[in-house]
Amino acid sequence: MGFRIDKITLRRLRMPLVHFFETSFGRTYEREIILVEVSAEGLAGWGEVTCGEGPFYNEEWTGAAWLLLKDFAIPRVLGRELDGAGAVAPLLDPIRGHLMARGGLEAAVWDLEARRNGVPLWKQIGGGARREIPCGVSIGIQDSVDQLLGKIDHELKAGYQRIKMKIKPGWDVDVIAQVRRRFPEILLMADANSAYTLAEAPRLEALDEFNLMMIEQPLGHDEIIDHAELQARLKTPICLDECIRSAHHAEQALRMKAGRIINIKLGRVGGFAGARAVHDVAQRHGVPVWCGGMLEAGVGRAHNIALATLPNFILPGDVSASKRYWKRDIISPEVETTPHGTIAIRDEPGFGYEIDHTFLSTVTNAQESFA
């Protein structure tokens, strides 16, 4: 039986990070996050827009996402008879790009549908292949190598199963060499966020000796062909992040052998329908995937946990405990990890955690409802 969304509320939050997070494209001290609340029949579903504060990871950013939702995405969904959450992605498909803005709305409707059916979100999306998802951490570029080593040590002691370190030209070969010297056995990988060009392939080839699990998105955000050429020269598997925005991109990239692993981010592919489609393409190619992160607050984090229960999410992802990002998260309980570096899934209907409305209102800067 279908349903009709009768109200959609956007909230714009400001939440300072516990520690700044630095990637090759810049430093983030404070997140600006849009939450999407969709209502039908007295039930609410929640989604989180995962874009950054500026258009540097990809072209999206919080200010633009708000307008995109308000002027184009919400009018296509509000008040429509929907067969189910699967109907949302096709309604948003005529919009070019803006996948993270679209994905926040799409994911909210999946959460709503799960609650309507009284099932956990992981079940609603067809997941449930595991009761605990394996977790790694993503550690940003630090002010010194000592600081980085200290952070890695701390996260390993907390039980995390693999370490991802951010790299950029000038913070790469020497730093990884020191990390490997100190931690010879750990599962280690590096993420360049598109900081290199094919001309710098020799520098990336120099990383082959460090037994990295993978190098994530070394080249341009839309350079599938260059990645194929680079992969042919590297022993280390390439993992694609920014390049994969649809199942079609995944299909093209894997056919070209542009990488051997895919990082799936819910927002980057426009929500659960897109994420499942990329997951399925990778699975057909025998390519493992893992769940990436965008420094999410609790709602996006909970959605990532549900996503990571699909069968081909074999490798430890970037989804970790709330306290690594926030002094206080907007959900209750907060996301916690087990001593062996996993997050246990929950069986409550929907995304499995409660919104902490009291705290949410203290971090909400703007709010607008559409009905």
Closest to 205 in 3D by CA, of 179, 247, 172, 178? 172
Minimum CB separation of residue 297 from ligand OSB in Å reads: 11
Minimum CB separation of residue 216 from Mg ion in Å reads: 5
Closest to 203 in 3D by CA, of 241, 230, 242? 230
Which lies closer to ligand OSB via its Cβ, residue 138 or residue 161? 138
Instruction: Draw the binding track, 51-80, toward ligand OSB (x: CB under 6 A; -: no contact).
Output: ------x-----------------------
**b/e sequence 165-188, b meaning 16+ C-beta within 10 Å:** bbbbeebbbebbeebbeeeeebbb
Rg (Cα) of the chain, in Å, rounded?
A: 20
Minimum CB separation of residue 192 from Mg ion in Å reads: 8
The reply to whether 293 sits near ligand OSB by the rule CB under 6 A is yes
Distances (CA, A) of 145 to 31, 177, 187, 255, 262: 25, 11, 18, 38, 28
The reply to whether 292 sits near ligand OSB by the rule CB under 6 A is yes
Residue with tokens 């701390």: 154
Choosing among Mg ion, ligand OSB, none, which partner's interface includes residue 318 (Cβ < 5 to 8 Å by kind)? ligand OSB
Render 85-141 in DSSP notation, one character per residue: GGGHHHHHTTS-S-HHHHHHHHHHHHHHHHHHHT-BHHHHTT--S-SEEEBEEEE--
The reply to whether 161 sits near ligand OSB by the rule CB under 6 A is no
The sheet with strand 187-191 has its strands ordered as 136-139, 162-166, 187-191, 215-216, 238-240, 261-264, 289-291
Considering only residues 166 to 205 of the shown chain, the ones binding Mg ion according to CB under 5 A are: 191
Q: Catalytic residue at 166?
A: yes
The reply to whether 193 sits near ligand OSB by the rule CB under 6 A is yes
The reply to whether 356 sits near ligand OSB by the rule CB under 6 A is no
Which lies closer to ligand OSB via its Cβ, residue 6 or residue 53? 53
Q: Distance between CA 347 and CA 249 in Å, rounded?
A: 33
The reply to whether 294 sits near ligand OSB by the rule CB under 6 A is yes
The residue number with the shortest CB distance to ligand OSB is: 293
Q: Give the residue ranges of DSSP H helices in the chain.
A: 62-68, 74-77, 88-92, 99-117, 121-124, 145-157, 173-182, 201-205, 224-233, 247-255, 272-284, 298-307, 357-363
Instruction: Choose which of 243, 295, 305, 315 interacts with ligand OSB (CB under 6 A).
Output: 295
Which lies closer to ligand OSB via its Cβ, residue 15 or residue 91? 15
The reply to whether 318 sits near ligand OSB by the rule CB under 6 A is yes
Choosing among ligand OSB, Mg ion, none, which partner's interface includes residue 293 (Cβ < 5 to 8 Å by kind)? ligand OSB
Q: Distance between CA 177 and CA 238 in Å, rounded?
A: 19
Considering only residues 248 to 287 of the shown chain, the ones binding ligand OSB according to CB under 6 A are: none
Among 7, 70, 166, 323, the active-site one is 166
The reply to whether 138 sits near ligand OSB by the rule CB under 6 A is yes
Q: Catalytic residue at 151?
A: no
Binding site for ligand OSB (CB under 6 A): 23, 57, 138, 191, 193, 241, 292-295, 318
Binding site for Mg ion (CB under 5 A): 191, 216, 241
Active site residues: 166, 265
